[in-house]
Amino acid sequence: MLQKFFQNRLVNFIGRTFFYFAIIIALIYLYSYSGVGQGHFIYNEF
Which amino acid, 37? G
Does residue 44 carry a pLDDT above 70? Answer: no
pTM for the structure as a whole: 0.61
Cα three-residue angle 8-13-19, rounded to 5 degrees: 125
Does residue 14 carry a pLDDT above 80? Answer: yes
Query: How far apart, in whole angstroms, are the C-alpha atoms of residue 26 and residue 2?
Result: 29
Contact between 11 and 5 under an 8 Å Cβ cutoff? The reply is yes
- Where does residue 22 fall: left (phi above 0), alpha (psi -120 to 50 degrees), or beta otherwise? alpha
Cα three-residue angle 4-13-32, rounded to 5 degrees: 135
Average pLDDT, the chain: 80
